[in-house]
């Protein structure tokens, strides 16, 4: 295990992986991550497994949009949108570049994403936890995701309903590249 990371793709988990930055389906509209591998630090992986089990218990699945993010990807995202409300400055270091953050949503058994009020990477106040200017159903689904992740031991980022990270994120080192 390089840097105590686990390759999520190789663990036969009941989870969907749709790494958005490894495709054109992201806010930059171009591929900025040149790997299809989804990595997490082993501690984050344990918490992901707990979240998967909790989701399964209530008939849902987790879909991963982003996990470990190399520093070169963080730099490209910052160049495109240098907004510290949503993107960590590369010199500060993102929890994603430490392998202890994950961007996710919930899907039903037919793998349809639950309504969350905004899409992934909607950089506005509509994405904030606690924003009441979304539908009742979306608010309920965000609370469901939040409850699952908190129960599984994750911390949340107030500005993005999809982002979760381990507590004390800065105690983990930045990892520049895995592949």
How far is it, in rounded angstroms, from Cα 112 to Cα 130? 23
How far is it, in rounded angstroms, from Cα 83 to Cα 78? 7
**What CATH number has the domain bearing residue 128?**
3.30.1380.10
Per-residue pLDDT tens digits for 16-40: 999 999 999 999 999 999 999 999 9
pLDDT value at 3 more than 90: no
| E-only strand ranges, the chain | 5-7, 15-17, 39-41, 61-66, 101-107, 155-156, 163-165
Query: In the chain, how many H helices and how many E strands?
Result: 3, 7
In a domain, 41, yes or no: yes
> What pLDDT does residue 85 have?
93
pLDDT value at 105 more than 70: yes
How far is it, in rounded angstroms, from Cα 102 to Cα 100? 7
> What pLDDT does residue 176 have?
85
Per-residue pLDDT tens digits for 88-99: 998 889 999 999
Q: What is the residue range of 34's domain? A: 2-171
In a domain, 176, yes or no: no
For the chain, the domain total comes to 1
Q: Is-contact 135 146, C-beta < 8 A?
A: no
pLDDT value at 149 more than 80: yes
Q: Is 122 a catalytic site residue?
A: no
pLDDT value at 50 more than 90: yes
Distance of CA 168 to the CA centre of its chain: 17
Per-residue pLDDT tens digits for 124-148: 999 999 999 999 999 999 999 999 9
> What pLDDT does residue 107 have?
98
pLDDT value at 179 more than 70: no
> What pLDDT does residue 177 have?
74
Torsion (CA) 113, 106, 102, 81 in degrees, nearest 10: 40
Alpha-carbon separation of residue 171 from 14, 95, 166 (angstroms)? 29, 10, 10
In a domain, 121, yes or no: yes
Q: Is-contact 32 74, C-beta < 8 A?
A: no
Select which of 53, 85, 115, 160 is catalytic: 160
> What pLDDT does residue 96 have?
97
| Token pair recorded at residue 86 | 């949503």
Q: Is-contact 169 101, C-beta < 8 A?
A: yes
In a domain, 140, yes or no: yes
In a domain, 178, yes or no: no
How far is it, in rounded angstroms, from Cα 161 to Cα 16? 18
pLDDT exceeding 90 applies to what percent of the chain? 92
> What pLDDT does residue 1 have?
60
Q: Is-contact 177 71, C-beta < 8 A?
A: yes
């Amino acid at each position: 295990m390089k840097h105590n990371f686990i390759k999520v793709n190789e663990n036969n988990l009941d989870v969907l992986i749709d790494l958005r930055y490894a495709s054109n389906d992201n806010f930059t509209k171009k591929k900025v991550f040149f790997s299809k591998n989804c990595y997490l630090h082993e501690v984050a992986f344990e918490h992901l497994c707990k979240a998967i089990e909790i989701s399964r218990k209530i008939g849902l699945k987790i879909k991963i949009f982003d996990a470990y993010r190399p520093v070169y990807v963080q730099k490209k995202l910052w160049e495109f949108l240098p907004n510290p409300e949503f993107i960590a400055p590369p010199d500060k270091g993102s929890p994603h570049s430490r392998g202890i953050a994950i961007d996710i949503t919930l899907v039903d058994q037919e793998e349809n994403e639950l309504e969350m009020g905004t899409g992934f990477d909607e950089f506005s106040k509509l994405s904030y936890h606690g924003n009441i200017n979304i539908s009742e159903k979306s608010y309920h689904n965000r609370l469901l995701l939040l409850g699952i992740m908190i129960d599984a031991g994750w911390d949340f980022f107030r500005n993005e309903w999809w982002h979760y990270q381990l507590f004390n994120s800065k105690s983990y080192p930045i990892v520049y590249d895995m592949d």
